[in-house]
Amino acid sequence: MNIEVKNKMLDAWIREVAEMCTPDEIYVCNGSRKEYDQMIQQLLDSGIAIPLKKRPNSYLFRSDPSDVARVEDNTYISTPSRTEAGPTNNWIAPDKLKKTMKDLYEGCMKGRTMYVIPFSMGPIGSPISKIGVEISDSPYVVVNMHIMTRVSDRVLELLGTNGEFIPCLHSIGAPLEEGQEDSKWPCAPIEKKYISHFPEENLIWSYGSGYGGNALLGKKCLALRIASAMAKREGWMAEHMLILRLTNPEGKQFHIAAAFPSACGKTNLAMMQPSVPGWKCECVGDDIAWMKIGPDGRLYAINPENGFFGVAPGTSYDTNPMAMDTLKENVIFTNCALTDEGDVWWEGIDGDPPKHAIDWKGNDWTPDSTDVAAHANARFTAPAAQCPVICEDWEKPEGVPIDIFIFGGRRSSVVPLVTEAYNWDHGVFLGSTAASETTAANIGAVGNLRRDPFAMKPFCGYNMGDYFQHWMEMGDKLGDKAPRCFYVNWFRKSEDGKFLWPGFSDNSRVLKWMCERVDGKAGAEETPIGLLPKDGDLDTQGLDTSADDLKELLKVDAEAWKAEIPDIENHFTTFGDRLPDRLKKQLEEFRHRLG
């Protein structure tokens, strides 16, 4: 070990893992720039990293075709009983799962270095932050964790001799025999990939994958699955939400946290450039919000991450100029195409396709090729601090006060552009019934309706019925200081299949109405599904949307909503007796309002 570890629990854990996994060396990370550069050099020397001539200090990686996304089927929530994990999670009993994984871990780091990565989720020392330590045998994981979390020897100092941390064990599952040549992307076959969470012990064990959320254990594993269970126990919230600050022309600030399933424009909204004159938008976070009740009784949020791990395909100056400006340097790209000029390329980026490129699998590609150049889930890992619209308070230890919650999904019909909940319980009802029509980015047939409560279905680390109850209880604690709840749908279409709402920067018009509702400056019309903008309430100045289209966007068709009720009932039935009575009451009130 390169440095002495003073924390007794951590030292014992490192030794225990080393004995089981038998690495050749142990290296404790300090988070320095020098360390990052050394890791990159190692990845360059092994031929895994490809330097990009067009982007300073940026590199391209190609993963194995079997290791390109989160493996939801191999992701487990391991609790003493299946009921505690709930119907939305894969479950294996802790003893059984630990035995399976210990057998896999036996000698799995042979021929490799075991990296000990101390990191903070959230600003180091913030009362909302948590400390984790990831042990991994992948230098690719080390450099990504440097960007996505706060890796630092200060974390070890903060831990002292007996501070608590969340242990995260990861191995790519590819031991090397002496003299054996390493593969370009070592990983285990799909049937041996396990992403395991033990919420009662705040413990994460991952094996066999080197990619994304399977391997960067601070991301979905800690920041959502383990954190959501901790938040329930400790009385706070860990949510799959972007955080943004909107400032009106008078200088008043509003903070918004929004939950959307994948392919619903979350990152685009987080970095939005408002089309409404005088309004300003700044990004606090694009993916995850940790929220605690502050001394004044309001809910305060931090972004626990330090970087953006975004989907590249579809990102362009048209869809998200601020993301594109964030990607000019110091970026890790994975599974994008490589142009002959030494830059990355993906489907949906600005400009014409290159005449020739090397695709994400390392093969020649031209516009005539039948395969895509970049994998649909190709990613960029970029420091959040590089974002041109990053909020100056994004690292404020106490967080920012949340005024508004937004839920949403992708619906071509039925759901109007924006709805405000009548009250907190109604807001929880809207969040718990959130649904999206599946796209190519989701698993399942395109166009099917998929319920994704609070956009947390793949990420809730315990029974989701209990999670709904936790939302109810947080509302009780917050009382009249609770954020207002809204539901949006940017994706409603006309009968001939065209989008009715322009979206992107014009979404600021909808957010402006929400802020004016919070301020008591805008009216609303009561409907069976909630409060909607009255005629003239939405700022449509300069907008090229016809009056008929606007009417269609805000239409509430009671018969279409009645047809939704059996699906909502079926969804709620999934949670059995864990479904809060208050949600059953909301459904009955909803049915009654529809007549």
* Residue 152: both structure tokens together: 């630092």
Cα–Cα distance measured from residue 590 to residue 566, given in angstroms and rounded to the nearest whole number:
13
* Residue 123: both structure tokens together: 């600003």
DSSP 280: E
Percent helix, percent strand, percent coil in the chain, to nearest 5: 30, 20, 45
Catalytic residue (one of 264, 460, 485, 515): 264
Distant-in-sequence, close-in-space partners of 435: CB < 8 Å, separation ≥ 6: 409, 411, 449, 450, 451, 452, 567
Q: Is the dihedral of CA 150, 155, 158, 164 positive or negative?
A: positive
* Residue 310: both structure tokens together: 């975004």
Cα–Cα distance measured from residue 269 to residue 275, given in angstroms and rounded to the nearest whole number:
12
Q: Which helix (H) or strand (E) holds 170?
A: strand 166-171
Contact 317, 324 (CB under 8 A): yes
Q: Could you give the C-alpha distances from 329 to 226, 239, 292, 390, in angstroms and in order?
A: 32, 29, 34, 16
Q: Is the dihedral of CA 203, 209, 214, 218 positive or negative?
A: positive
Cα–Cα distance measured from residue 461 to residue 456, given in angstroms and rounded to the nearest whole number:
9
264 tagged catalytic: yes
φ/ψ (deg, to 5) at 126: -65, 145
Give the side-chain half-sphere CA count within 13 A for 42: 15
Active site residues: 264
